[in-house]
Chain A
């Protein structure tokens, strides 16, 4: 896309941003597998990648297309169970497993997105809870989905493709990383391409969009399909690379809220917001439990830490909505701008 239709916010820092992304990617691909501790990968990076992808998927729907969903975790579950069953029953190669899991989640997403054609706002948000409860119930009640595992908890099989098995920690990490990178790139292109107009038009003023001929219904359903597909893949990463088990309880309403909070705290309608939000959601509880251990000598019991986390996270949401509705992404923007002007001052001073 050339100049006239681009989003201005994306342009001034384009070069710097591109460079920053490359540096982060280089670190993530080369340094992390070689030097990161087992704990860093298992407890931080793997959940971070899955959460980022889920946040990205929801952001497409809520941030860009303006349709609030409270059922994200259900679509993660659909992706995870679909991948498990495609592997188990059809023995599909890995890329096809991902693709089919995404397509299954997209199809389910479209079905539960249908109410959005008639309902708006709160009514829609509430109706997405139907997906949350129905899908969780479905996987709980019907043993077929979990291959009649007596406990209901499946251990996810090791993924493999073209002679590579993703059994080590590092290989699982690299698999998750590459999936996230590819999808993020596609989403970035999608939301900065012509589709941006359709999405934002529907979000900002549905009536005007309809009158000028933006295909409102198609835009909404596309958003539901793509968002659910991406969240479904996030579910695959969550179950196969991070937890390596699958159970319906892992995809409950709290998980859905977590994903929504990632999108809000990170910054709605931004791609990097999902990553910033996911980083916060993953790192913050670790900091809190370590910090309390350090300050209170011996630390609080696990239950108290968990409740405190809940309170602080809930308060963080409120504070962000009040003080910085554009989320961490906007804060990062300000920091970048300030650093730049500082840097410019220093170089000018030297010259």
Chain B
């Protein structure tokens, strides 16, 4: 491999890592809910679509950027609360698989609802971030991807410190660790659940804006969940750090595979390659890279 080929490989890998951050961002929405509710919330992708559609439609209706952001935030919070009330609470104490199936139905409701309200056309979303690539040491990096990754990282840091240093955050962790104990010491589970669903809504908004600016705001945005799922499986459903590492790993390996393996099999392998990577790792470590080792009690 000569120097230019090497640089090219690095460039591909860096591009992959940056999009990996974006995968991780969506995956974190899942992790938040999984940690407190024990649910794999398939509707997370629909929430991403809903958030982006709402925001872009407000902006198109001449609502100022900042106001649109606040309004969308409030709507996402309300959506999260509504889901918690109407879907999760009636299904409390049911098997995790039942809850999962309910979120499949929920995904259809939110996707359908978002498009029914705001229409099905594709919207362009301009966040004012330049998309011009710039060069560092011979490799080109997309400015947008870099800024997006930075925003995603900032969000992760904010979330992590929220859960580590604030009272609400700590009680969230208590719920995640031991629901019964949390109830016993008088934590109000419903309020915490609602807070978490709201937080997941916020994550969905950020993800929706970044992905929407990249791909255009349209139905296919809800399919970013399909990118996030292998990340989630690989990182472990309950680990934010896992989601980030797995996101980077999958982002990079996927792009490299597309460039170096793709041509031999006709291309387009990014739809499933991530799943193969995740499965291969899982067969060796069933709990994922960072998930808790599953110790069952009998």
Contacts and interface: CB of A to CB of B under 8 A. Distances in A.
Given A115-B282, A137-B268, A126 B100 contact: no
Contacts of A307: 112, 115-116, 120
A260 B107 CA distance: 14
A16 B70 CA distance: 61
A130 B276 contact: yes
Given A141-B268, A307-B116, A321-B98, A314 B108 contact: yes
B129 interface: no
Contact of A322 (B90, B229, B278): B90
B296 A207 contact: yes
Interface string A128-143: 0110011011001110
A122 B237 CA distance: 9
A310 B108 contact: yes
Given A141-B265, A314-B105, A127 B275 contact: yes
A318 interface: yes
Interface string A300-314: 000110011111011
Nearest to B265: A141
B268 A140 contact: yes
Contacts of B296: 207
Contacts of A121: 96-97
Interface string A240-277: 00000000000001000100110010000000000000
Given A115-B279, A307-B116, A137 B271 contact: yes
A311 B113 contact: yes
Nearest to A254: B108
B183 interface: no
A314 B286 contact: no
B229 A126 contact: yes
Given A129-B226, A307-B112, A314-B112, A122 B100 contact: yes
Nearest to A253: B226
A179 interface: no
Interface in B240-279: 265-269, 271-272, 275-276, 278-279
Contacts of A318: 86-87, 102, 105-106, 109
B232 interface: yes
Given A127-B279, A316-B105, A321-B105, A134 B286 contact: no
Given A118-B286, A137-B269, A260-B101, A130 B279 contact: yes
A36 B276 CA distance: 48
B257 to A, nearest CB: 13
A317 B275 contact: no
B107 A314 contact: yes
Interface residues of A, number: 41
B4 interface: no
A115 B275 CA distance: 12
Interface string B276-295: 10110011001010000000
A152 interface: no
Contacts of A304: 116
B87 A127 contact: no
Nearest to A134: B272
B182 interface: no
B277 to A, nearest CB: 10
B98 A325 contact: yes
Nearest to A125: B100
Interface string A94-106: 0000000000000
A68 interface: yes
B233 A123 contact: yes
Contacts of B282: 115, 118-119, 123, 127
Contacts of A126: 40, 229-230, 232-233, 275, 278
A257 B276 CA distance: 21
A303 B120 CA distance: 9
Contacts of B109: 310-311, 314-315, 318
Given A122-B100, A141-B266, A314-B108, A129 B229 contact: yes
A134 B115 contact: no
B74 interface: no
Nearest to B284: A118
A145 B214 CA distance: 34
A260 B226 contact: no
Contacts of B87: 318, 322
Contacts of A136: 271
A238 to B, nearest CB: 21
Contacts of B98: 321, 325
Contacts of A207: 296, 298
Nearest to B34: A122
A133 B271 contact: yes
Interface in B71-105: 86-87, 90-91, 94, 96-98, 100-102, 104-105
Contacts of B267: 141
B111 interface: yes
A68 B271 contact: no
Nearest to A205: B298
Contact of A118 (B232, B237, B283): B283
B168 to A, nearest CB: 27
Interface of A: 68, 115, 118-119, 121-123, 125-127, 129-130, 133-134, 136-137, 140-142, 207, 253, 257, 260-261, 264, 303-304, 307-311, 313-318, 321-322, 325
21 contacts: A68-B101, A122-B40, A123-B282, A125-B97, A127-B278, A127-B279, A127-B282, A130-B279, A133-B226, A207-B296, A253-B226, A257-B108, A304-B116, A308-B112, A314-B104, A314-B105, A317-B108, A318-B102, A322-B90, A322-B91, A325-B98
- Nearest first, the 4 A-B pairs at minimum CB distance are A314-B108, A317-B105, A310-B112, A130-B275
